[in-house]
Amino acid sequence: MIIILDIFLNTLDVFPRAALLTLRLTVTSLLLGCFIGLIIAFFRISSNKLLNYVATVYIGLIRGTPLIVQIAILYFGIASIVTFSQFWAGALALAIHNGAYIAEIFRGAIQAVDRGQMEAARSLGMSYPLAMRRIVLPQAFKFSIPPLGNQFIIGLKDSSLVAYVGMAELWGSGLSEAASNYRQLESYIVVGFYYLALVMLFSFLLKKLEKRMSLDTKLLD
């Protein structure tokens, strides 16, 4: 116990900064992931066969391979052609990964909106994109918040895997800390606490968002 506290105090110049990097990495990749997810979700529900196929293959590949493999391929494969900063290589890999899962969340949420909503909007002369943007998506967004929150937490924890391409975020710093002080167990416990704190922060924010939305959701039929 003393040792854990000792390590905690001795790493105050390392881990908080690493935690901040983890947070930046996560937020960047999730925002990007939402963007990718929305586009892929539209591909999935599109009547265009080609777009459909692209989305299905993308989701299939991402869900079918481990994140660590995806990170490695992106880092060593693509980064050898195009130069990314380490941060962007990691963020992009995580975004592409999360994007596939978020796409399925958005697709489900869009399809959960009653068909009559789209029909009513179209019957008033609204075009498909306008009806989607003004009528369907605002409602779908509400449906997507709980699963999206779940995915955000998973995304936060999964960001630890970019440590293996040399990024000194939380887990990466934990690894090097443990290697230099030879106190593996205690160091990892401290890292665990930082993750727990970040996840609790995320959960708190998500709960708040969900609550605010549910005030509105009461207005749903």
Partner 1 sequence: MITISNLVKSFGPQTVLQGIDLTVTEKEVVVIIGASGSGKSTLLRCINFLEVFDKGEISIQNKKIVPEETNLNKVREEVGMVFQHFNLFPHKNVLENIIEAPVHVKKMDKAMAAEKALQLLEKVGLRDKAYAYPSNLSGGQKQRVAIARALAMEPRIMLFDEPTSALDPELVGEVLQVMKQLAKEGMTMVVVTHEMGFAREVADRIVFMGDGKILEEGPPEQFFTNPQHAKARQFLNRVL
Q: Which residues bind partner 1 (CB under 8 A)?
A: 114, 116-117, 119-127, 130, 134-135, 138-139, 142, 216, 218-221
Contacting residues for 56 by C-beta, under 8 A, at least 6 apart:
44
- Residue with Cβ nearer partner 1 (13 or 221): 221
In the complex, minimum distance from the CB of residue 115 to partner 1, in angstroms, rounded to a whole number: 9
CB 58 within 8 A of CB 100: yes
Q: Pick the closest to residue 146 from 221, 203, 62, 94 (CA basis).
A: 203
- Residue with Cβ nearer partner 1 (114 or 197): 114
In the complex, minimum distance from the CB of residue 128 to partner 1, in angstroms, rounded to a whole number: 9
Q: How far is residue 75 from each of residues 60, 71, 72, 80, 81, measured CA to CA in Å?
A: 20, 6, 5, 8, 10
In the complex, minimum distance from the CB of residue 47 to partner 1, in angstroms, rounded to a whole number: 11
DSSP state of 78: G
CB 59 within 8 A of CB 40: yes
- Residue with Cβ nearer partner 1 (48 or 114): 114
- Residue with Cβ nearer partner 1 (6 or 210): 210
- Residue with Cβ nearer partner 1 (25 or 148): 148
In the complex, minimum distance from the CB of residue 110 to partner 1, in angstroms, rounded to a whole number: 14
In the complex, minimum distance from the CB of residue 75 to partner 1, in angstroms, rounded to a whole number: 42
CB 98 within 8 A of CB 31: no
Q: Pick the closest to residue 38 from 121, 141, 150 (CA basis).
A: 141
